[in-house]
């Protein structure tokens, strides 16, 4: 029960931040420290208790005290940043607030409850909070895909500009070879290889965000152009519909993973060049956590995409079944991401 009270009380600091008054901003540094140091020490004592225990083991009054001192210290940090010229004080308070925040908001995430909460709330909520970054990644992919498709349809040699090997055209396109059908002969090996390749692509898409986001944008553009160019070559050769029929079943999930990973990479890049009101370090920590939540979901979705691509996509079954699988997986995925987790978690709603 004390844990529930803590979550209800502490969650309110998001919408009910302590207002710093003009008088507080004018307190001399020495006097400010002497007035507040006992509270900071008490917060450190409570955090040390939590290092060897959990939030649920604290008493009711200790939980209330932890929430009160945490909010007060967060306010002190704002004052110190605005008025103090002592970077040691700012760094100390910043570290203390981050430690307290981490202990408070992760304390309930243990074992199965943590996993359940991630899937029922954290992943879909994070996707909705960061959808603009995902949309930018999708837009870049789409724009370069359209340009590449049109360019390759007009001139097949354009495909070389976006990384399509000329030998690929000679071996598979000009001979109208269904190269993807070989996966049907060894599904287990194919599925494993596909998962590895898909994970590698999404990791690159995400990791290149560290290059101020430019790397992610480049990789999204390159992937969109490359895929569209191959499609254009097959359509020009007369068997494009066959390739689309192969791609469609797994493509909805796989492409969605690439877009989400691109959005996660842009989160990292934006923290470096547009931290907003936060320091770059704080922005990287905050948006980095959002990006990690997204990438954990992407990793699991890629397993599903790899299984479909290894076992269903190359199978000689009716094309309508593959298109139906694409529609079902797409509706399920985006229905989950857009509509699940709007209500508060059970422990916060009590």
Only one residue has tokens 């002190």, namely 76
Q: Which one, of 226, 231, 228, lies nearest residue 245 by Cα?
A: 231
The answer, yes or no, to whether residue 79 has pLDDT greater than 50, is yes
Kindly report, residue by residue over 21-52, the tens digit of the pLDDT.
444 444 556 777 888 888 888 888 888 877 66
Classified as helix, coil or strand, 165 is coil
Question: Which secondary structure element, helix H or strand E, spans residue 37, and what is its range?
Answer: helix 29-51
- Residues 215-251 have pLDDT tens digits of 899 999 999 999 999 999 999 999 999 999 999 999 9
**Contact criterion met (CB below 8 Å) for 212 and 275:** no
How long is the chain? 350
- Write the DSSP assignment of 200-256 as a string of letters: HHHHHHHHGGGTTTHHHHHHHHHHHHHHHHHHHHHHHHT-HHHHHHHHHHHHHHHHH
Return the structure tokens found at 162: 């976006």
Distance CA 55, CA 64 (A): 11
- Which residues does 348 contact at the CB level (< 8 Å), separation at least 6? 4, 7, 8, 11
Cα 312 off chain centre by: 28
Residue 144 pLDDT exceeds 50: yes
pLDDT of residue 11: 38
Confidence of residue 194 (pLDDT cuts 50, 70, 90): very low
CA distance 55 to 330: 39
> With contact defined as beta carbons under 8 Å apart, do 294 and 124 qualify?
no
pLDDT in tens, 258-314: 999 999 999 999 988 888 777 888 888 888 899 999 999 998 998 898 888 888 888
Q: What pLDDT, on a 0 to 100 scale, did the predictor assign at position 198?
A: 65
Please tell me the predicted confidence (pLDDT) of residue 58.
66
Q: Look over the chain and give the mean of its residue pLDDT values, rounded to a whole number.
A: 80
């Amino acid at each position: 029960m004390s844990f529930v009270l803590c979550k209800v009380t502490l969650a309110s600091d998001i919408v009910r931040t302590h207002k710093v008054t003009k008088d507080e901003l004018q307190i001399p540094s020495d006097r400010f420290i002497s007035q507040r140091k006992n509270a900071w020490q008490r917060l450190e004592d409570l955090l040390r208790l939590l290092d060897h225990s959990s939030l649920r083991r604290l008493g009711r009054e200790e939980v209330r005290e932890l929430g009160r001192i945490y909010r007060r210290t967060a306010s002190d940090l704002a004052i110190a940043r605005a008025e103090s010229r002592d970077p040691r004080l700012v760094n100390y308070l910043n570290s203390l607030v981050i430690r307290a925040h981490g202990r408070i908001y992760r304390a309930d995430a243990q074992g199965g409850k943590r996993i359940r909460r991630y899937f029922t709330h954290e992943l879909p909520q994070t996707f909705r909070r960061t959808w603009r970054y995902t949309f930018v990644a999708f837009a870049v992919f789409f724009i370069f895909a359209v340009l590449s498709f049109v360019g390759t349809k007009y001139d097949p040699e354009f495909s070389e500009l976006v990384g399509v090997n000329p030998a690929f055209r000679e071996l598979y396109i000009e001979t109208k070879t269904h190269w993807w059908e070989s996966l049907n002969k060894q599904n287990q090996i194919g599925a494993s290889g596909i998962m590895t390749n898909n994970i590698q692509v999404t990791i690159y898409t995400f990791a290149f965000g560290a290059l101020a986001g430019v790397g992610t944008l480049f990789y999204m553009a390159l992937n969109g152009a490359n895929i569209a160019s191959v499609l254009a070559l097959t359509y020009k050769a007369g068997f494009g519909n066959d390739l689309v029929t192969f791609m469609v079943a797994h493509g909805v999930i796989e492409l969605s993973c690439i877009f989400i990973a691109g959005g996660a990479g842009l989160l990292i890049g934006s923290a470096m060049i547009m931290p907003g009101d936060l320091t770059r370090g704080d922005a990287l920590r905050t948006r980095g956590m959002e990006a990690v939540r997204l990438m954990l979901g992407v990793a699991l979705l890629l397993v599903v995409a790899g299984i479909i691509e290894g076992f269903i996509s190359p199978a000689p079954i009716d094309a309508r079944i593959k298109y139906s699988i694409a529609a079902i997986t797409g509706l399920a995925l985006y229905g989950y991401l857009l509509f699940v987790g709007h209500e508060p978690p059970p422990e916060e709603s009590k």
